[in-house]
């Protein structure tokens, strides 16, 4: 059984996960659940897009076998209180963890609950949320859950913009601006592959480029070790660029392998 947990407002990125599951598994289960415990910003939760009728159509067309559409009570029968919050340490405290306090704990809480309910053989998650899938890998290890994690590459618009449910909240001008996110990551990739380039310089240039654009507020633009998310020392390490920006009040993230 393959499992694709989502928060709905499905797009081709989600469908790529369904397709990957259908390729590897006899039965594909998708869940749609906008998890209250992973939103540190109430207005982000309140404005999260809900398009359930269209989601059901897309899942049927993609050949998904089961849709699990639980209520909050079903996932959290005893409320949101956790006896012992998770402690993933460094990897959950940096980048997204630093800008969205509590987010990864809430995310891990719901993923653990969904895995216990669904009991899949394989869990499919997107590279789009790179730090998230690293932490889920740790969760699976820590809790000794018998599920394998498979990461599916990010699906992008023709413009390069990573598909995201939050893109539906961007107007035309913001969409235009959002293209600069993947462009900046691509440019970092080109620069890093120049033997003379210095990791720090490339990172600083990326952040400066984004902060110089009117309408984009970058939160971070970082080059990290792709396995550990540590600050890299050498270019022989596997490097990944990760960024989060706000455009018109909408928070967008993206990442790209650089070498
Ligand atoms: P979400 O509904 O945003 O919580 O995402 C559900 C799953 O879909 C997560 O594993 C995401 O990483 C994945 N996902 C979201 N957007 C994309 C994308 N553009 N390409 C690939 N996977 C994605």
> CA quadruple 3, 255, 228, 113: dihedral positive or negative?
negative
Please name the helix (run of DSSP H) or strand (run of DSSP E) that holds residue 130, with its range, or none. helix 130-142
Please name the helix (run of DSSP H) or strand (run of DSSP E) that holds residue 246, with its range, or none. strand 239-247
Predicted pLDDT at 155: 98
SS3 label, residue 68 = strand
Residue with tokens 């600083």: 204
Distance 31 CA to ligand 1 centre (A): 12
Please name the helix (run of DSSP H) or strand (run of DSSP E) that holds residue 177, with its range, or none. helix 172-192
Please give the number of the atom of ligand 1 that sits closest to the Cα of 129: 12
Question: Tens digits of per-residue pLDDT, 21-77?
Answer: 999 999 999 999 999 999 989 999 999 999 999 999 999 999 999 999 999 999 999
Q: Which residue, judged by its Cα, is nearest atom 12 of ligand 1?
A: 126
Q: For the chain, how far is it from start to end, CA to CA, in angstroms?
A: 33
Contact by Cβ (8 Å): 147, 120 = yes
Give catalytic status of residue 14 as yes or no.
Answer: yes
Residue 62 gets which letter from DSSP? H
Cα torsion for 69, 71, 74, 77, to the nearest 10°?
160
pTM of the model: 0.97
Distance CA 26, CA 120 (A): 11
pLDDT in 10s for each residue of the chain, 259 residues:
999 999 999 999 999 999 999 999 999 999 999 999 999 899 999 999 999 999 999 999 999 999 999 999 999 999 999 988 999 999 999 999 999 999 999 999 999 999 999 999 999 999 999 999 999 999 999 999 999 999 999 999 999 999 999 999 999 999 999 999 999 999 999 999 999 999 999 999 999 999 999 999 999 999 999 999 999 999 999 999 999 999 999 999 999 999 9
Predicted pLDDT at 83: 86
Predicted pLDDT at 8: 98
How crowded is residue 207: how many other Cβ atoms within 10 Å of its Cβ? 17
Distance CA 246, CA 215 (A): 8
> CA quadruple 157, 160, 165, 170: dihedral positive or negative?
negative
Using a 6 Å cutoff on CB, does residue 126 contact ligand 1? yes
Contact by Cβ (8 Å): 164, 13 = yes
Predicted pLDDT at 54: 98
Using a 6 Å cutoff on CB, does residue 7 contact ligand 1? yes
Distance CA 198, CA 153 (A): 27
Predicted pLDDT at 67: 98
SS3 label, residue 209 = helix
* Tokens standing for residue 23: 């390729």
Predicted pLDDT at 46: 94
Distance 197 CA to ligand 1 centre (A): 32
């Amino acid at each position: 059984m393959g499992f694709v947990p989502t928060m709905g407002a499905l797009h081709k990125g989600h469908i790529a996960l369904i397709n990957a599951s259908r390729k590897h598994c006899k039965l594909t289960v998708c869940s749609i659940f906008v998890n209250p415990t992973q939103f540190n910003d109430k207005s982000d939760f309140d404005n999260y897009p809900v398009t359930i009728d269209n989601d059901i159509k897309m899942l049927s067309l993609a050949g998904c076998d089961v849709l699990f559409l639980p209520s909050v009570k079903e996932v959290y029968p005893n409320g949101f209180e956790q006896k012992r919050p998770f402690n993933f340490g460094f990897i959950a405290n940096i980048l997204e963890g630093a800008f969205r306090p509590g987010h990864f704990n809430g995310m891990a809480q719901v993923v653990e609950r969904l895995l216990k309910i669904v009991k899949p053989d394989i869990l499919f998650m997107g590279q789009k949320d790179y730090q998230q899938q690293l932490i889920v890998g740790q969760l699976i290890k820590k809790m000794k859950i018998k599920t394998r994690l498979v990461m599916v590459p990010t699906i992008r618009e023709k413009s390069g913009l990573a598909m995201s449910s939050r893109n539906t909240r961007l107007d035309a001008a913001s969409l235009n601006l959002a293209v600069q996110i993947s462009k900046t990551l691509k440019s970092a990739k080109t620069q890093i592959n120049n033997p003379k380039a210095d990791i720090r310089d490339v990172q600083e240039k990326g952040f400066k480029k984004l902060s110089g654009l009117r309408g984009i507020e970058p939160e971070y633009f970082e080059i990290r070790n792709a396995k550990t998310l540590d600050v890299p020392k050498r270019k022989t390490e596997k490097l990944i660029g990760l960024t989060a920006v706000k455009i018109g009040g909408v928070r967008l993230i993206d990442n790209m392998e650089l070498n």
